[in-house]
Amino acid sequence: MLIAVIADNSHIRVHGFKGDGKMDFAASIATEPRQTADYYACMAEQLFALGGVKKDEITGVVLGSVVPQLTRALSSALHSVTGRRVLSVSSGVRTGLNIRSDQPQQVGADRVAAAVAAKARGKLPCIIADCGAAITFTVLDKDGTLCASAIAAGVRMSLEALHASSAQLPTVALEDGAVCEVMARNTADAMRVGAAVGAAAMIDGMVARYAAALGDTPQVWLTGDSVQLVSWHLQTCWEGADDLAFEGLRLIWEKNHPDR
């Protein structure tokens, strides 16, 4: 079994893939950047035990971390628990992805992995809209080159920023799948509309602008833990791809271990 791990600012997600490439195990814990390798080793032991994963079944470990202060501790923890050398996605790892950027090393490992998987799926050009703490756009042209990116505040981040910077604006919750009526008639609903419908309108607008720049209608992959907050309000045609980054990690591991 291949263990694939994505660490971002809110969660550490773990997936296990069988030899046929099908996912057999999934778990997650909250990100704690100040914790030690020993702490994460304990967490990994518990997650594997709960998921029925036996250590002698693990054939490899690949890590995509966008939290620099956590990467070393998490890599050390995974190595100590599994006994396997951890492949951490970085600028020195073979991905097969051409990144057209002034600073390619600064493209997040999760976005690189998602782009690798999107390229492999073959629906090009494409846009990966990741609705997480931030909303990120990763654009691949018809040749599969990562040619453009954009980063904006996510839905919940927008609401938190409004409350933090404005004394009269309340703390507002959003429920996954809830449909916001655009004709809001109170402050809380107005904030929900601004965050959720506004995010959807931004995605629609960005997709249209990228389509014009690419000269073609792109495939749109939608992923991230806030998808259910914005998807109801999108006019853009899209396909869900929550497993995209993990699929990419698996492909990257296979590219760097061709004999396995």
Q: Which of 110, 130, 141, 225 is catalytic?
A: 110
Q: Is the pLDDT of residue 177 over 90?
A: no
> Given pLDDT bands bounded at 50, 70 and 90, which one contains residue 260?
low
Q: Are 129 and 221 in contact (CB under 8 A)?
A: yes
Per-residue pLDDT of 250-259, as tens digits, reads: 999 999 987 7
Q: Residues 50, 51, 55, 58: what is their CA dihedral angle, to the nearest 10 degrees? A: -160
Percent of the chain with pLDDT over 90: 85
Rounded to a whole number, what is the distance in angstroms from the first to the last CA of the chain?
12
Report the mean per-residue pLDDT for the chain.
Answer: 94
Q: How confident is the model at residue 91 (pLDDT cuts 50, 70, 90)?
A: confident
What's the pLDDT at 57? Answer: 93
Closest to 244 measured CA to CA, from 80, 126, 76: 126
- Whether 202 has a pLDDT exceeding 70, the answer reads yes
Q: pLDDT tens across 5-19, in order? A: 999 988 999 999 987
- Closest listed residue to residue 190, CA positions, set 164, 159, 156, 233: 159
Show the tokens assigned to 199. Answer: 């995010």
Distance CA(225)–CA(131), nearest Å, equals 6
| 212 or 20, higher pLDDT | 212
Strand partners, 61: 3, 86
pTM for the whole thing?
Answer: 0.92
pLDDT at residue 54 is higher than 80: yes
Which of 215, 2, 45, 136 shows the shortest CA–CA distance to 128? 136
Beta strands in the chain (DSSP E): 2-7, 11-17, 23-30, 60-65, 86-88, 126-131, 134-140, 146-153, 219-223, 239-240
Side-chain half-sphere CA neighbours of 183 within 13 A: 0
User: Is 20 an annotated catalytic residue?
Assistant: no
